[in-house]
């Protein structure tokens, strides 16, 4: 009798706890961050690319931000305009001595008049030839405020809650130009009512000093992500990226940030002699310090060496390494992969 009672009790607990466990597993699934929007399909950082990412079910949509001459945050990956707009034909005499066209030398009105396009390399050819045709379409460079309006409007009409994942580009460059990009971005977030939405906004930067400034001086409550670059890329930061990947470096990061955004090849290091993936201990070190890990950039048309398919890449990072989210140009594929995993878990 007592045993039967105990079994009934256990069955009752299971009936209560199992759905809860399934829900918790689903709720803690890694986040899909649409890198520059659905940029595998439409020119990066254009509003159509952001609308498409929203429709594809991205959890967060990324905004890289730089300032115009009049101090307005616009959504643009580079501090230059030449790789992703027609600035060179529209304003041929406005390049600096290095031949580059800097967004900060142009007013918002001028930048609004440019056509945004698929990214071109220094040879004038499309960086990703299989993507949206270069020099085609009638796209514009949006302001951060316009993009937030689009995302929050779609959230309203589609009954969703999509996050912003904002990167402050070239903070030291902007400071040298007399502009405070961190302050300007927080002003826009305040104006749009997002400045305290801690579950819906991440701020990311390669520059540790800017993240400390955001946390300690500007006192934002928003979660901060320390991006980790390859030193050869020349990102606008004096931080030592090799140190950031050590236990001592991550101890430091945990004082001002909530997570890290490493390059995926700082986690996947290639294959060993027997063909097994070689993995760094970066994720374990970060998790041990309570830091989230959101690596970049997952592209089905630019796989790392030794990875045979996009599914294999997602499987490695999501099922084997266990990252907390990832930046991808193909949010539909990551969403689909995770959806399959969610259904699998729910059936367990």
Tell me which residues in 197-236 interact with Ca ion (CB under 5 A): none
Annotated active-site residue in 54, 77, 174, 294: 77
DSSP readout, 275-316? SPEEE-SHHHHHHHTT-EE--B-B-TTSPPTT---HHHHHII
Question: Going by DSSP bridges, is the β-strand pair 201-205/224-228 parallel, antiparallel, or unpaired?
Answer: parallel
106 binds, among ligand G3P, Ca ion, none (CB under 5 to 8 A by kind): none
Q: Is 77 a catalytic residue?
A: yes
Residues touching Ca ion, count (CB under 5 A): 2
Do residues 117 and 137 lie in contact, with contact meaning Cβ atoms separated by under 8 Å? yes
Q: What is the 3-state secondary structure (H, E, C) of 165-205?
A: EEEECCHHHHHHCCCCHHHHHHHHHHHCCCCCCCCCEEEEE
Positions in the binding site for ligand G3P (CB under 6 A)? 35, 64, 77, 167, 204, 227, 261, 296-297, 327
Q: Determine which residue in the list 167, 235, 258, 324 makes contact with Ca ion, applying CB under 5 A.
A: 167
The binder of 261, among Ca ion, ligand G3P, none, by C-beta within 5 to 8 A per type, is: ligand G3P
Pairwise CA distance, residues 257 & 205, whole Å: 10
Q: Which is nearer to Ca ion, 38 or 341 (CB)?
A: 38
Shortest distance, CB of residue 226 to ligand G3P, whole angstroms?
Answer: 11
Six token digits for residue 135: 């020099």
- Asked if 181 contacts 91 with a C-beta cutoff of 8 angstroms, the reply is no
Query: Nearest distance from residue 225's CB to Ca ion, in Å?
Result: 10
| Given 39, 56, 57, 64, the residue binding Ca ion (CB under 5 A) | 64
For this structure, is 156 an active site residue? no
Confirm or reject binding of residue 78 to Ca ion (CB under 5 A). Answer: no
Q: What is the torsional sign of CA 160, 56, 329, 127? A: negative
For Ca ion, the binding residues (CB under 5 A) are: 64, 167
Active site residues: 35, 77
């Amino acid at each position: 009798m007592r045993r039967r009672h105990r079994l009934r009790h256990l069955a009752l607990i299971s009936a209560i706890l199992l759905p809860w466990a399934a829900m918790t597993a689903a709720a803690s699934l890694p986040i899909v961050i649409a890198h520059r929007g659905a940029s595998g399909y439409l020119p990066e950082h254009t509003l159509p690319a952001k609308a498409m990412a929203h429709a594809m079910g991205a959890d967060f949509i990324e905004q890289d931000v730089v300032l115009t001459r009049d101090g307005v945050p616009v959504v643009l990956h580079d501090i230059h305009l030449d790789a992703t707009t027609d600035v060179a034909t529209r304003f041929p005499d406005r390049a600096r001595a290095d031949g580059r066209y800097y967004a900060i030398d142009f007013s918002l009105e001028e930048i609004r008049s440019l056509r945004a396009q698929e990214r071109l390399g220094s040879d004038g050819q499309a960086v990703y030839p299989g993507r949206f045709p270069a020099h085609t379409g009638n796209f514009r460079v949006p302001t951060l405020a316009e993009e937030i309006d689009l995302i929050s409007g779609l959230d309203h009409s589609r009954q969703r809650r999509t996050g912003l994942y904002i990167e402050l580009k070239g903070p030291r460059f902007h400071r040298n130009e007399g502009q405070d990009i961190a302050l300007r971005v927080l002003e826009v977030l305040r104006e749009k009512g997002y400045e305290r939405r801690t579950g819906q906004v991440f701020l990311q930067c390669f520059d540790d000093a800017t993240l400390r400034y955001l946390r300690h001086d500007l006192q934002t409550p928003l979660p901060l992500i320390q991006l980790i670059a390859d030193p050869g890329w020349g990102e606008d930061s004096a931080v030592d990226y090799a140190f950031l990947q050590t236990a001592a470096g991550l101890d430091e990061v945990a004082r001002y940030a909530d997570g890290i955004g490493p390059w995926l090849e700082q986690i996947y290091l290639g294959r060993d002699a027997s063909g097994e993936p070689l993995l760094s201990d970066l994720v374990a070190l970060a998790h041990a310090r309570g830091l989230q890990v959101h690596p970049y950039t997952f592209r089905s048309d630019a796989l790392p060496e030794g990875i045979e398919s996009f599914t294999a890449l997602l499987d490695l990072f999501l099922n084997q390494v266990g990252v907390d989210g990832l930046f991808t140009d193909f949010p539909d594929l990551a969403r689909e992969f995770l959806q399959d995993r969610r259904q699998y878990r729910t059936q367990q």
